[in-house]
Structure 1
Amino acid sequence: MQTPMTIRDHLERARIVYGDRVGIYDEPDQPAPSLGDLTYGQFYDLAQGMAAGLDDLGLEQGARVGIVSQNSARLLTTLFGASAWGRVAVPINFRLGPDEVEYIVDHSGCEVLILDPELEDTLGDIKVKHRFISGEESDSLFKVGAEARPWTPDENATATINYTSGTTARPKGVEMTHRNLWSNAAIFGWHTGVNDRDVYLHTLPQFHCNGWGMPYATTAMGVPQVNLRKVDGPEILRRIETYGVTLLCGAPAVVAAILDAAAEWDGEIPGKDRVRMVVAGAPPPTRTIERVETELGWEFIQIYGLTETAPLLTINRSRQEWDDDTPAERASKLSRQGVPAVGITMATDPEGEVLARGNHILKSYWNNPEASAEALADDWFHTGDGGVIEDDGYLTLQDRKKDVIISGGENVSSIEVEDCLFSHPAVEEVAVIGVPDEKWGETVKALVVVGGDADVSERDLIDYCREKIAHYKCPTSVEFRQELARTATGKLQKFKLRAPYWEGVEKGIN
């Protein structure tokens, strides 16, 4: 027997098995009225109510529903309320500027757009058929008690489109099917030991790879989910203490914020000997990994993946054979990207690019057949990362082959930043590179050749970018050059431009 695997399965199980358990703790400090504490039964009713509300708007199954929001119960409801009844959720990065969000709305074909109240002034003019401000206005979609239109489950149907910055100036829409999301949730949950005694803290942005898929895994297992609107080290520790949190995910910058807060914390660190923290986005320094164990008393788990892989490709979790190691020795082993997750096959090509196969790798890039064919050539997913797979199966990343900077866990297309700087009248040539940064892993640096007698400062160019693109993409420093290293055919030699800033760093990523 074979039945279709859809994310409706996770929601239905939560309703049936854990319907009376509080499953969602909404963020109390937000501009919209908080939804408070929701049982999984109430959460199911909200999600189905949203599907019924979308029915009333005349949205066909397969229609796109966009939401731009920080972490909230309403965003979680949208992930299920759209996809579990046959529509497509499009969670959008709230840090993006109006032009970028407008492009995603147009490109994906969103018919509905839900906006966080804080974003109404900047994004409120985006043209879309149905726009709602999150809160009382968007809550009008919740037709609680109404039966949503039946949907014939199809595991190969697109469930979400997640936009990611890459080697092009415009972001690409990653199509994730129900089967992709189901597989990632099951395998990720299995490897990290998700169970109904856990309490999960949403420190990871829920728009980012659908919160890496943890909302599906935790919902299926009846795990209480605590929403956190904004990353703040002391507040993370307070919520871990208040709710008895056992599991959270985040980028290295979140780890750094927690360690800073722990240094000032009065008393035993919350979650000692209980919390597991899953980290991805960029490999943190070995010393940081060691401090998670020695200063927080938490378990450090590293994963590697991309938006295109839902994201889990490899996982590195401490194993029995390492129990007698010192914390420093264990941290050194944990600094690798890890071994393939169940069902994932990894390889490298002759040039060292990391390749992957598995059940939760993207269906395609939406409306971009050329990029899809390139990424999935020869029946492998081409990650764009350079690495080595050791004899024991562990992957270690060494360089980033594609022109992407990962800063604080967010992808930044250097081409997009270069395009922005090129539009400034004083800029004649520009190369944007990633350089090591202790807090963010990498940060954006612009190398600029100024034309003629133009007079422009570092601050001028940074401010210019901040007016046009998301702030996290903007250069944190600008260095003026007389010329930029190029090949005989005129191509920028980024590796030569990057090299001086990475001297003394073992890998070409940080």
Structure 2
Amino acid sequence: MDASVSPFAQGLDKTTANYAALSPLSFLARAADVFPDTVAIVHGNQRTDYRDFYRRARQLASALAGLGVGRNDTVSVMLPNVPPMLEAHYGVPMSGAVLHSLNTRLDAAVLAFQLDHAECKVLITDREYAPVVKEALSIASVRPVVIDYSDPQFPQDGERLGTLDYEGFLQSGDPDYRWTLPEDEWDAIALNYTSGTTGNPKGVVYHHRGAYLLAQANVITAAMTGHPVYLWTLPMFHCNGWCFPWSLSVVAGTHVCLRWIRPKAMWDLIADRKVTHLCGAPIIMSTLLNAAPDQKRALDHVVEFFTAAAPPPESVLAAMKTAGFNVTHLYGLTEVYGPAVVNDWKAEWDALPLDLQAHKKARQGVRYVALEDLAVLDPETLEPVPADGQTLGEVMFRGNVVMKGYLKNPDATEKAFAGGWFHSGDLGVMHPDGYIQLKDRSKDIIISGGENISSIEVEEVLYKHPDVQAAAVVARPDEKWGETPCAFVELRQGAEVGEADLIAFCREHMAPFKAPKTVVFCELPKTSTGKIQKFALREQAKAL
């Protein structure tokens, strides 16, 4: 034995007995072994147990392999929240391929760009989207094998675009297909594209290790004990449904699919299926709360609701609590597998007045258990800003649930990882207790007369007005001040408040120079995940 080498470095190598690549694919295999008869998926009148869920995932992997699909090939899916979307989250990577989930609300040109950029080999598409997919395929250079999905629970009359039907294709696969874990846990498992509001979208690459860790972290963060029942109000194409398609298998929970967001369907499923968890943007809360009285249901259990994007106003939090929901604020980006920060609630905060509780809940929070580091840094020096709740810095991430990088875009990857941190582009503060709070996107800070104005701060004040249902604030060019805050507002039904009233309200509740100079009443443009499209509002503000 070499005395210069530590004994812990000798004869203690990785073997098949003591090492396996981390991958969420193993979660489904275990669930099928231990809980084969437990209902895994509910879709309309359809029920699938874990035995069949695992069988169908292996059939999909086998059928894809039969087409020549293998390691690092791209399989794209254009699917709503239906069982094949869950099957794809396992079957595609079981074949060694990378799952590319397409946003079902994108236009044909963007879809074509993504199919080409991802070098798509196979496309599984729901017939509802046939018109836009057909146009995208006519624009794209790639010629993937197209597999049409016909939903038996909610039939669509869209055109068939390929020669293969999903169910028939699946049946061609071997239900006992001997899939293997990835050769390396650093192998790509999924590809998700950013929104591309400034130029072409960037392809964010996830690895098996990160998906494994965030899926387990979701279980811990969401306290998924017993038998969780998860309602799919969050699109699965969005950051792979924040990795929850993999999380539920950890605890053999039940996926309740929801093809379309409809208030009555949500209330009925929550009440009848005893839903315990759901996720979504604030628009989901609004849809539930604003449902017609005859559509709402009284709940005899508490439902955990996880939301991201803008923090819910105090009035919404109170209404959700009354309706039976406990709201937890999450924060993340596509580049960190979805949620990587949670507003971990402390028991002692329950004794605070409701307005102070709302102030606590408005903060983004602390790092997920799977994230190694979260900081608010000076973007130039990378030094931490003072934890005073006032000093602005850029929110940065570091750890295993940060993306591999941007596909075929080394310059953007290098820029995003400069200095050994992932630069989020979000500006925020660090509070003395270690909780971060977002103040704005770097591009959304309004510089008026040399003063920085946080659009989020102005929005928070607007949301406190009882007649405001939704609000977004952007910069409007101004000859004198350079920029001034311009507010776009959706009013509650029956409200009659005017522009001068809202401006006066803001001036009363914040520094007057921060109040909007212009208020536009309109329906706010939103993404498919319910986020307000500020880039569109900035263009409108410029044109005013």
Alignment match, 1:9: 26
Alignment check: 8 A CA contact 2:191 2:204 kept = yes
Secondary structure (helix, strand or coil) at the match of 1:159 reads strand
1:47 aligns with 2:64: no
Distance 1:108 1:392, change over 3 A: same
Distance 1:267 1:177, change over 3 A: closer
Secondary structure (helix, strand or coil) at the match of 1:151 reads coil
Task: Tell me the distance in 2 between the aligned counterparts of 1:290 and 1:66.
Answer: 41
Task: Tell me the distance in 1 between the aligned counterparts of 2:118 and 2:29.
Answer: 28
Alignment match, 1:172: 202
Alignment match, 1:252: 282
Task: Tell me the distance in 1 between the aligned counterparts of 2:422 and 2:366.
Answer: 17
Alignment check: 8 A CA contact 2:215 2:243 kept = yes
Please point out which of 384, 393, 396 is paired with 1:355.
Answer: 396
Task: Tell me the distance in 2 between the aligned counterparts of 1:371 and 1:476.
Answer: 26
Alignment match, 2:118: 108
Alignment match, 1:133: 148
Alignment match, 2:312: 284
Task: Tell me the distance in 2 between the aligned counterparts of 1:482 and 1:297.
Answer: 43
Q: Please report how far the alpha carbon of residue 323 of structure 1 lies from its aligned counterpart in structure 2 after TM superposition.
A: 2.4
Distance 1:482 1:98, change over 3 A: closer
Q: Please report how far the alpha carbon of residue 397 of structure 1 lies from its aligned counterpart in structure 2 after TM superposition.
A: 0.4
1:323 aligns with 2:357: no
Task: Tell me the distance in 1 between the aligned counterparts of 2:491 and 2:376.
Answer: 30
Distance 1:4 1:479, change over 3 A: closer
Distance 1:437 1:208, change over 3 A: farther
Q: How does 1:21-420 map to 2 (within 5 A)?
A: 21-27=38-44, 36-125=46-135, 126=137, 127=140, 128-135=143-150, 137-142=165-170, 143-148=172-177, 150-153=179-182, 154-166=184-196, 168-261=198-291, 264-265=293-294, 269-270=298-299, 272-293=300-321, 295-344=322-371, 345-351=373-379, 352-402=393-443
Alignment match, 2:518: none
Alignment check: 8 A CA contact 1:45 1:144 kept = no
Task: Tell me the distance in 1 between the aligned counterparts of 2:541 and 2:231.
Answer: 43
Secondary structure (helix, strand or coil) at the match of 2:19 reads coil
Distance 1:393 1:481, change over 3 A: closer
Task: Tell me the distance in 2 between the aligned counterparts of 1:149 and 1:3.
Answer: 16
Alignment check: 8 A CA contact 1:318 1:330 kept = no
Q: Please report how far the alpha carbon of residue 289 of structure 1 lies from its aligned counterpart in structure 2 after TM superposition.
A: 1.9
> What is the Cα-based RMSD across aligned positions, in Å?
3.1
Alignment check: 8 A CA contact 2:185 2:209 kept = yes
Task: Tell me the distance in 2 between the aligned counterparts of 1:11 and 1:247.
Answer: 19
Considering Cα pairs closer than 8 Å and 6+ residues apart, tell me whether 1 or 2 has the greater RCO: 1
- Across the two proteins, how many residue pairs are aligned to each other? 425
Deviation sequence 1:454-508 (CA, Å, 0-9, x none): xxxxxxxx9xx99xxxx9869479758689xxxxxxxxxxxxxxxxxxxxxxxxx
Compute the TM-score of the two structures, normalised by the length of structure 2: 0.72
Alignment check: 8 A CA contact 2:406 2:413 kept = yes
Alignment check: 8 A CA contact 1:317 1:334 kept = no
Alignment match, 2:471: none
Alignment check: 8 A CA contact 2:74 2:119 kept = yes
Runs (4+) of structure 1 exceeding 6 A deviation are 403-407, 480-483
State the identity %. Answer: 31
Instruction: Output the amino acid matched with 1:341.
Output: Y
Distance 1:472 1:129, change over 3 A: farther
Alignment check: 8 A CA contact 2:486 2:541 kept = no
Task: Tell me the distance in 1 between the aligned counterparts of 2:190 and 2:95.
Answer: 12
Task: Tell me the distance in 2 between the aligned counterparts of 1:381 and 1:342.
Answer: 17
Distance 1:102 1:400, change over 3 A: same
Instruction: Output the amino acid matched with 1:256.
Output: S
Q: Please report how far the alpha carbon of residue 436 of structure 1 lies from its aligned counterpart in structure 2 after TM superposition.
A: 4.9
Secondary structure (helix, strand or coil) at the match of 1:264 reads coil
Deviation sequence 1:300-334 (CA, Å, 0-9, x none): 11100001001222101432112223444322211
Q: Please report how far the alpha carbon of residue 44 of structure 1 lies from its aligned counterpart in structure 2 after TM superposition.
A: 0.6
Secondary structure (helix, strand or coil) at the match of 2:275 reads coil
Alignment check: 8 A CA contact 2:58 2:179 kept = no
Distance 1:402 1:176, change over 3 A: farther
Alignment check: 8 A CA contact 1:75 1:206 kept = yes
Task: Tell me the distance in 2 between the aligned counterparts of 1:112 and 1:2.
Answer: 32
Compute the TM-score of the two structures, normalised by the length of structure 1: 0.77
Alignment check: 8 A CA contact 2:229 2:253 kept = yes
Task: Tell me the distance in 1 between the aligned counterparts of 2:214 and 2:491.
Answer: 29
Deviation sequence 1:55-96 (CA, Å, 0-9, x none): 111112221100111110011111111013311000110000
Task: Tell me the distance in 2 between the aligned counterparts of 1:210 and 1:289.
Answer: 27
